[in-house]
Amino acid sequence: MARSRMCLVNKRFLIAGGGAPEIEMSMQLAAWSKELHGMESYCIKEFADALEVIPYTLAENAGLNPIAIVTELRNRHAKGEKNTGINVRKGQITNILEENVVQPLLVSTSAISLACECVRMILKIDDIVTVRTQCLMITDAHLFNTNFGPSISCNHTVGGAVAQMHNWFFPFLSCLANLLPRLTNKNSEVPSADLK
């Protein structure tokens, strides 16, 4: 509760909860991506798809069918119901503002900003290094109840999980990194989510 108060002190805005702003931003970015061409179009579309993970996860954690919920959310927002979100207590989609389900704006913007910063840090990785080290020197193996003997040899792969995704993930991330300065520039034409 104290963090929510701090968020409201720093940025005095409340927005609808329940995944409503994220699905609206996703839809507007997807529409904007159709006006662009080339890699920029693909990157904006993927960013829009990534925003749908938030309502998807919310529905999944509430024990609802996430695919059906996100599809219904998209349909309701396409009809102009911009404050429609997931009502976890009722287990259905309702007008979230009428239910008084709100969240500080700073919570959403911080989460998205941190995710983008994480992507930028991953993009700075230009190589995957395999390191072979001596992990542990055991002088008295019986103290650890192991049968490994005097030394244990380990193989560590830095970024092993990332290495498996390099075929599709890194091209998307590099394109996104090129677009981030434009998306954060206040003078650029980025569609805004109108949640009234």
The domain spans of the chain are: 2-124+167-184, 130-160
In the prediction, which pLDDT does 148 show?
Answer: 43
Question: What residues contact 136, with CB distance under 8 A and at least 6 apart?
Answer: 151, 152
To the question of domain 2-124+167-184 being in CATH 2.40.37.10, the answer is: no
pLDDT exceeds 80 at position 28: yes
pTM over 0.95: no
Nearest to 127 by CA among 156, 163, 174, 154: 163
Confidence of residue 119 (pLDDT cuts 50, 70, 90): confident
Residue, of 115 and 166, whose pLDDT is higher: 115
pLDDT exceeds 60 at position 141: no
pLDDT exceeds 60 at position 103: yes
Most confident of 100-104, 155-159, 167-171, 190-194: 100-104
Residue, of 87 and 12, whose pLDDT is higher: 87
